[in-house]
Amino acid sequence: MSGEDTLRGYRGFVRRKLEEAGVRVWSMVRVTTSGATYEGILLPRSELGNGNHIVLKLKTGYNVGVKVTEETVIEEIGYSPGHYVLPEKKVEFKPGKPLVSMIGTGGTVASRLDYRTGAVIPAFTPQELFSAVPELEEICNLEMISLFEIFSEDMQPEYWVRIAEKVAEEINRGVDGVIIAHGTDTMHFTSAALSFMLKNLPVPVILVGSQRSSDRPSSDAAMNLISSALVAAKSDIAEVVVCMHGSSSDDYNIIHRGTRVRKMHTSRRDAFRTIGDIPLGVVAKGVIRMLRSDYKRRSEHRKVTVDSKLDPKVVLLYTYPGMQPDIVENVVNADYHGIVLAGTGLGHCPRAIIPSLKRAIKDGVAVAMTSQCLYGFVGMNVYERGRDLLSLGVIPCGNMLPETAYVKLIYVLGHTRDINEVREMMTHNMCGELTSGEPYNAYLILQGGLESAAEK
């Protein structure tokens, strides 16, 4: 088409590099940078994202962002013109409908397939998103923000801060809810981090993703987006939550508290589960049904703030038979400030690493204990090994999930290195990460009887 931008979304230095290499969107390219080589289709990208990256569709079907520097070598190895298949549907602001912001951090939770190239094209604007998922237009007025584009396994604590600050900015300008599009692998880390950092929330903040990309007939993307939009626009929740499929069918979504949720399957659409507790609610057939009453509710009188003081010098270590003390020694020698142990059973570890833990604590390293069982509480007064660890100064973390404890210790150490204050903060429930007990029907797949709840 005459006048068509052959490098849609690219600008500045990266655009010049692509032009110098003679490549266009839909070119098959080979990119060599920092000792790694990638081959894939150059995709169009959001103009609002990080301008230092290009987006490639790999042969595996995944999209990847590749940082471009002066040393990066880009060459075209083929070309097959694609067709941008996300028509922009005309969208008018509808007075009276809630205003929701959707912040993109990576992934293709809302997209369409270009069948000629096999490329999944993400929706970049509200017009494109409403074209991909037209049901959203009936739920809310939607504004989209592309914050950055990364794989969720590349998430860093500094990115949690950027997300939190953008969420607060959107809420304080008056939106009724915020949706965060996020890769699923580390979504539960980010939901925990935002739970600790976002103070005095007046509206819901929902993390959403898709286990299966939008080009697959079994994709969960559209339903997850619709349910998340309903929660953002119409629920009375004022917490950080995750909203994902509740079963392998398209019958309902679960609303999980951000500090009690975990990804429990590599590929199932209902991979996310509330662990050791009952989920906050379900979304079924366009209706939100709350399963519990002990959650924070909306209030137009609150103003959110961001508590972004973090100390990323924390490690999460799983204990195991044969674990050697040099693992802990290396952590201490590398000047880490905190260790979260995912211990066996009630919170145990091999005798071999106890001297190393003793040295770590003596050197001012905070050591906290969780259970790799995930369900249940650490009980370090029951057996001799647990009592030995307590006497060293290891902090018991109740039924806090290992990943949540890791995030919380990063947050706590950002505020204090005083071990007594660290102990007080780690053992004090801040936002649902610790509970006083576990309901009998909160174990494994029961999820508080969700099958029956979704049918009502």
- Number of Cβ atoms within 10 Å of the Cβ of 269: 22
Mean pLDDT to the nearest integer, 223-227: 92
The band of 170, judged by pLDDT with boundaries at 50, 70 and 90, is very high
Quick check: 288 pLDDT over 70?
yes
Q: What is the overall mean pLDDT for the chain? A: 88
Q: How far apart are CA 123 and CA 144, in angstroms?
A: 9
Q: Which of 263, 277, 370, 404 is catalytic?
A: 263
Question: Rounded to 5 degrees, what angle do the CA atoms 87, 91, 93 make?
Answer: 160
CA distances from 454 to 247, 285, 373 (A): 10, 9, 28
CA 388, distance to chain mean position in Å, is 36
**Which of 185, 236, 307, 388 is the catalytic position?**
185
Active site annotation includes 185: yes
Domains, the chain, ranges and CATH?
12-79 (2.30.30.520), 99-306 (3.40.50.1170), 314-426 (3.40.50.40)
10-17 LR contacts (CB < 8 Å, sep 24+): 10/45, 10/51, 10/54, 11/47, 11/51, 12/51, 13/51, 13/52, 13/68, 14/51, 14/52, 14/53, 14/54, 14/68, 17/68, 17/72, 17/74
- Catalytic residue, chosen from 105, 117, 125, 184, is 184
pLDDT over 90 (residue 167) = yes
* pLDDT-derived band at 179, boundaries 50, 70, 90: very high
The confidence score (pLDDT) of residue 115 equals 39
Check residue 169 and give its pLDDT: 98
- pLDDT value for 453: 47
The arithmetic mean of pLDDT across residues 372-400, rounded, is 97
Q: At what angle do helices 419-426 and 402-413 cross, to 10 degrees?
A: 140
Select which of 17, 57, 105, 108 is catalytic.
108
Structure confidence at residue 30 (pLDDT): 94
Q: Is the pTM of this model over 0.95?
A: no
Active site residue 305: no
- Say which DSSP state 106 is in: S
What burial class does residue 252 get, using C-beta atoms within 10 Å of its C-beta: 0-12 exposed, 13-18 middle, 19+ buried?
Answer: buried
17 is catalytic: no
> Does residue 219 contact residue 195 with C-beta atoms inside 8 Å?
no
Higher-confidence residue of 341 and 14: namely: 341
Between these two residues, 118 and 429, which has the higher pLDDT value? 429
pLDDT band at 248 (very low <50, low <70, confident <90, very high): confident
Mean local confidence (pLDDT), 257-278? 94
The yes-or-no answer on residue 263 being catalytic is yes
User: Alpha helices of 76-183 — where are they, by DSSP H?
Assistant: 126-132, 157-172
Which residue is it, tokens 């005798």?
351
